[in-house]
Structure 1
């Protein structure tokens, strides 16, 4: 089976499904931070698929979809267009939005799954 990067149409399907599941608090934050999906680079894991879809920005954080692992993640960025950290969570969009709510309201985020570690 050959892996194929997710298309823009497919990322929109995931976003629309998640919006229908969001509670009012998640929905309010989502409305404030969402952007039109755009591909951002991430080295080395994002190279093969020509980047990952970023769907929201909050300060120095981006909310993006890891189509290798099939889940949404929150990472830092320093330069627009480049995801600094690779995470392999398999979170639904509303869970990632909740993680940002937790950060704003209580100062913590949900746990993150790291990339493969050699050795």
Structure 2
């Protein structure tokens, strides 16, 4: 089977599925940090699919979908458009968001 990058429509379905599973507190945070999914570059593995879909940003961290691993991941970034660290987690959105919140709270 040949790997194909996830489409925006498929990603939107993944996001909707995750939103339905979020607690009200997490959904409120999600609504604060999310934005229209945008492809960002990632130097290690992102070239083949034209980058990875970043779905949320807070301070110097992003939440993105790694369609090679089929899951949401977290990375720092130094400038918009570039994911700093490759992540191979296979988390659904609602679980990645919990990790994202904990990381931000820890770093604050």
Aligned length: 107
Matched with 2:42 is: 42
Structure 2 gap ranges (5+) = none
Matched with 1:5 is 5
Whether 2:31 is the aligned partner of 1:31: answer yes
Structure holding more helix per residue:
2
Contact kept, 8 Å, 2:52 with 2:67, in 1: the verdict is yes
Query: RCO (CA 8 Å, sep 6+): is it higher in 1 or 2?
Result: 2
TM-score (structure 1 length as normaliser): 0.86
**Residue 82 of structure 2: SS of its match in structure 1?**
coil
TM-score by length of 2: 0.95
Residue 103 of structure 2 corresponds to which residue in structure 1? 103
Task: Write out aligned runs for 1:50-89 (5 A).
Answer: 50-89=50-89
Runs of 4+ in 1 over 4 A off after TM superposition: none
Cα displacement (A) at 1:102: 1.7
Q: Distance in 1 between matches of 2:11 and 2:53?
A: 8
